[in-house]
Amino acid sequence: MRAASTFVSLLARRGVLDRVEAIGVVLCGSLGATGEGHGTPDAVVAGLRGLDPRTCDVDEVPGAWDALGEGATLVLDGGRAVTMRRADIRLAPLTRLPGHPNGMRFVAYGAGVPAQGSGDRPVLAQEIAYSVGGGFVVWEDALVDGGDTELSEALTESSSDVVDPALEFESAAELLEVCRRTGLDIAEVAWAHELALRPTPTTPTTPTTPTTSTTTTPVAAGLDEIWSAMSDCIDSGLTREGHLPGRLNVRRRAARTRVRLEALEEAATRGDVVGDLSIEWLQACAMAVNEENASGRRVVTAPTNGAAGIIPAVGRHFLRTHPALADDDEASRRAMRRYLLVAGAIGNLYKRNASISGAEAGCQGEVGSACSMAAGALCAVLGGTPEQVENAAEIAMEHNLGLTCDPVGGLVQVPCIERNAIAACTAVSAARLALQGDGSHVVSLDTVIETMRQTGLDMSTKYKETSTGGLAVNVIEC
């Protein structure tokens, strides 16, 4: 959706949008292999229309590709009406573009035919984009040394991006060194980086921290918005019943689980022996988010949609198991800011030094990195030191190494939804285990990230979001 919207913005910037008669899109590699199951062609149509994944009506997206049929009018962002067919968005699973397994080619066509009379429509513009995980889009020109960087430069968000050199880090070891040298914790280091990217309109008279800043600052407001979206997604998934779309006919489980858990809690108030239900609630919250994702609803990429349930579920678990926060909205907001900042700092290490893309690294790059992010973040809000946080993140990934991405039918349902529930439990266990130590351990987070990268390189492509291996071919779909 973002790539398609950006391409239309480029057409307007180049002054050719009013001459566009048609758009052609080719979804290559893993995007083509799982495109229908992931709803990718629908997202392309929505993006061409200018819809924003953060704000659009999610009900407008599903079915948009099929609705084009043999030809329908599509109004591009900016008001240009073109005729598009379903066939204009093509799936090409066997075509891999050089930059990344998730590649897509956009072509804008004008009216008439070339002078040589070949019958082909004249090309006004064409670009290649890569979906590298977590909602990030990288354009081909940015990957070519010395190439034309017009697209990347024109469409990159401006920011001051002036980070104190003393706070810069590219590895977990460097991050820990920054914390030791400055006395800051990981959340505070991440906070400083975010302030550099999104400065406040007026400089505060005293420096703010994740626990002192109000929602009037862009960073605090942004973090609150992310947590609110995550929390809303959990609540929506816990109430929505029925079956997920697609030929697997998977029945939703989160809402049914919620009803059973509420009944057990009610029984406990009458004196029945029920036992602790916190893990069951943790699993239900994770499944709720991923059932929302599987049905095309709005989720937060954390760090990807396929792994979107882990960080929200573990965050909700923290709040549920600390009831004092339930009566203090400001305290819970500040805790969740710290939680998200630490998760983001850890996720940045995976994105920088390995991959968060299932098409590139297998599910270890998605669910594994999300589990690691959640484990470190939970350890932080439970009072862990930077060394314990790093240990928690390492433990979580160490036990996700080699995890394949083999969605049945190309749908993000089986085994993806349960996988999020199990990884959320692993994250909690990793955080609790790390808190029992002093942060010292044999395998570093940097080592496990590098191992994950190497494992992803060695992994067969049939286990990397192509639905051509593993459960995807061994499970009968009907």
Which pLDDT belongs to residue 151?
56
Half-sphere exposure of 115 (CA within 13 A, CB side): 0
Contacting residues for 50 by C-beta, under 8 A, at least 6 apart: 5, 8, 76, 77, 78
C-alpha dist (Å) from residue 59 to 1, 46, 53, 239, 302: 14, 11, 12, 17, 22
- For residues 397 and 369, is the Cβ–Cβ distance under 8 A? yes
Which pLDDT belongs to residue 450?
98
What residue spans of 120-185 are helical by DSSP H?
140-143, 150-154, 172-182
Residues 214, 209: Cα–Cα separation, whole Å: 10
Residues 129, 142: Cα–Cα separation, whole Å: 10
Residues 54, 61: Cα–Cα separation, whole Å: 13
- For residues 176 and 188, is the Cβ–Cβ distance under 8 A? no
DSSP 323-390: GGGGG-HHHHHHHHHHHHHHHHHHHHHHHHHS---HHHH-GGGTHHHHHHHHHHHHHHHTT--HHHHH
Contacting residues for 235 by C-beta, under 8 A, at least 6 apart: 288
Which pLDDT belongs to residue 326?
75
What are the backbone angles phi and psi of residue 158, rounded to the nearest 5°?
A: -80, 145
Overall CATH class of domain 1-152: alpha beta
Which pLDDT belongs to residue 134?
85
Which H or E run includes 473?
A: helix 471-474
Which pLDDT belongs to residue 399?
96
Contacting residues for 172 by C-beta, under 8 A, at least 6 apart: 349, 390, 393, 444, 445, 446, 449
Residue spans of the domains in the chain: they are 1-152, 172-199+218-473
C-alpha dist (Å) from residue 76 to 80, 228, 255, 478: 5, 31, 38, 38
Residues 47, 130: Cα–Cα separation, whole Å: 15
CA-based diameter of the chain, in Å? 86
Q: How many CB atoms neighbour CB 139 within 10 A?
A: 23
Task: Give the three-class secondary structure for 97.
Answer: coil
- For residues 236 and 297, is the Cβ–Cβ distance under 8 A? yes
Which H or E run includes 7?
A: helix 2-13
Which pLDDT belongs to residue 306?
95
> 422, exposed or middle or buried, with CB in 10 Å at 0-12, 13-18, 19+?
middle
Question: What's the count of helices (H) and strands (E) in the chain, helices before strands?
Answer: 20, 7
C-alpha dist (Å) from residue 128 to 52, 104, 368: 20, 6, 28
Closest CA to 338 of 205, 185, 183: 185
Which residue type occupies 178? Answer: V
Per run of 10 residues, the mean pLDDT along the chain (length 478 residues) is 96 96 96 92 97 94 96 96 97 94 96 56 94 90 58 49 86 98 97 90 63 80 97 98 95 98 96 95 98 95 96 98 89 97 98 96 98 98 98 98 95 97 98 97 98 98 94 83
Tell me which DSSP letter residue 116 carries: T
Which pLDDT belongs to residue 135?
86
- For residues 431 and 378, is the Cβ–Cβ distance under 8 A? yes
- Say if residue 415 is preceded by a cis peptide, omega within 30 of 0: yes
Taking the alpha carbons at both ends of the chain, their separation in whole angstroms is 30
The per-residue b/e assignment along 97-112, b for 16 or more CB within 10 angstroms, e otherwise, is bebbbbbbbbbbbeee
